């Protein structure tokens, strides 16, 4: 089947949710994940959108994820929350944690949430942006199965390990930084391995430690750290925050997010929510506006997160193009739901 189908974000959400429920996911967890899938499609981040839904369903079926898990959130100190995803999807655990994190940060000025026994949280910036939309500076970390070797080494120690910073603005984040410790997200290699498309040199290294343009070879080797040793340093920072601090599995002990082997990965997330008013008084918004203006005033420059915002506007106006064969595959998984 060739061609594309144009869908709305709500239709994407319903399609993804139906497939997840049919695979054995409880309704609330399916909806939490499906909302994130729709947001990724809306922002043009296809690698974390509908393309990933068959894998999610496969992981529920094989037991890599417990689709029926109900997350538990405990307050461990005045400004500290600890969520146990219980080997279920990360999204419902993050949702449950945010319900308490947002009011806690507003009342205390700063609060933090850790998540353990978790899974791939998809687009990290999606979660951080929700904190900014609540008027808070949101900083997020998530670790992943090891795929980046230290500079000079060949054995992976940390994952692609992204961090995200979302700064509140008028109605939407004024700034949204979402970047991984690797040159590119591992999911981008997986996409190109499926299509047979080569990757640019510098994205990944083969098992021999040499650069490769073959995504399949790169997946057998290691991801290239962004900025060399500096990228590996970012990976270590995230590993400390998302794994060591949260009590989650280190990347070297986590099973892969792809495939069916290894059981639940047990990775983690960490979120810090900060009330600008508690630290900056009334001047925070003006300073952020000045900072953003210094960027946008330059011809050809754009703010981090600006491209995603443009994609959202375009998707809302024109719809979301979905490959017809992918739509058919997920609809079949949903069983007509």
43 catalytic per annotation: no
Verify whether residue 188 is a known catalytic residue.
Answer: yes
Can you spell out the DSSP letters for 252-289?
GGSPPSSSSTTS---EEEEEEEE-HHHHHTT-HHHHHH
3-state helix, strand, coil in the chain (%, to 5): 45, 20, 35
Out of 17, 29, 47, 315, pick the active-site residue. 47
Nearest Cα residue to 163 out of 26, 269, 80, 275: 269
Catalytic residue among 41, 48, 59, 187: 48
CB atoms within 10 A of CB 291: 13
Residue 294 domain flag: no
Quote the domain boundaries for residue 50. 1-62+305-337
Residue 336 lies in a domain: yes
**258 belongs to a structural domain:** no
Report the predicted TM-score, pTM, of the whole model to 2 decimal places.
0.93
Q: What is the CATH number of the domain that holds 11?
A: 1.10.1530.10
Q: Is residue 39 assigned to a domain?
A: yes
Instruction: With respect to residue 329, please indicate whether it lies within any of the assigned structural domains.
Output: yes
Q: Give the C-alpha separation, 205 to 186, whole Å.
A: 12
Residue 127 annotated among the catalytic residues of the structure? no
First to last CA, the chain: 21
Decide if 325 is inside a domain.
Answer: yes
Among residues 13, 41, 188, 239, the one annotated as catalytic is 188
Written as tens digits, the pLDDT of the chain (337 aa) is 579 999 999 999 999 999 999 999 999 999 999 999 999 999 999 989 999 999 999 999 999 999 999 999 999 999 999 999 999 999 999 999 999 999 999 999 999 999 999 999 999 999 999 999 999 999 999 999 999 989 888 889 999 999 999 999 988 899 999 999 888 878 788 888 888 899 998 898 888 888 899 999 988 888 888 888 899 999 999 999 999 999 999 999 999 998 898 899 999 999 999 999 999 988 999 999 999 999 999 999 999 999 999 999 999 999 999 999 999 999 999 985 4
């Amino acid at each position: 089947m060739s061609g594309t189908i144009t869908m709305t974000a709500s239709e994407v959400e319903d399609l993804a949710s139906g497939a997840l429920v049919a695979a054995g996911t409880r309704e609330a967890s399916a909806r939490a994940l499906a909302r994130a899938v729709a947001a990724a499609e809306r922002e043009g981040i296809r690698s974390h959108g509908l393309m990933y839904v068959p894998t999610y369903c496969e992981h529920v079926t094989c037991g890599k994820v417990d689709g029926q898990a109900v997350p538990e959130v405990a307050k461990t100190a005045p400004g500290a929350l600890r969520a146990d995803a219980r080997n279920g999807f990360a999204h419902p655990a993050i949702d449950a944690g945010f319900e308490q994190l947002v009011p806690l940060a507003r009342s205390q000025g700063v609060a933090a949430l850790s998540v353990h026994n978790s899974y791939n949280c998809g687009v990290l910036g999606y979660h951080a942006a929700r904190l900014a939309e609540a008027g808070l500076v949101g900083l997020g970390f998530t670790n992943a199965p090891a795929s980046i070797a230290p500079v000079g080494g060949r054995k992976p120690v940390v994952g692609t390990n992204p961090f995200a910073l979302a700064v509140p603005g008028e109605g939407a984040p004024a700034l949204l930084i979402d970047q991984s410790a690797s040159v590119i997200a591992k999911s981008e290699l997986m996409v190109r391995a499926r299509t047979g498309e080569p990757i640019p040199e510098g994205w990944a290294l083969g098992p021999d430690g040499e650069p490769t343009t073959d995504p399949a070879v790169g997946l057998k080797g290691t991801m290239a750290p962004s900025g060399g040793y500096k990228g590996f340093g970012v990976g270590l920072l995230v590993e400390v925050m998302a794994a060591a601090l949260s009590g989650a599995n280190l990347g070297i002990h986590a099973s892969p997010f792809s495939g069916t082997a290894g059981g639940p990965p047990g990775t983690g997330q960490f979120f810090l929510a900060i009330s600008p008013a508690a630290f900056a008084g009334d001047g925070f918004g003006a300073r952020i506006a000045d900072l953003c203006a210094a960027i946008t005033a330059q011809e050809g420059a754009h703010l981090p997160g600006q491209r995603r915002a443009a994609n959202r506007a375009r998707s809302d106006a024109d719809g979301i193009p979905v490959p017809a064969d992918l739509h058919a595959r997920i609809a079949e998984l949903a069983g007509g739901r």
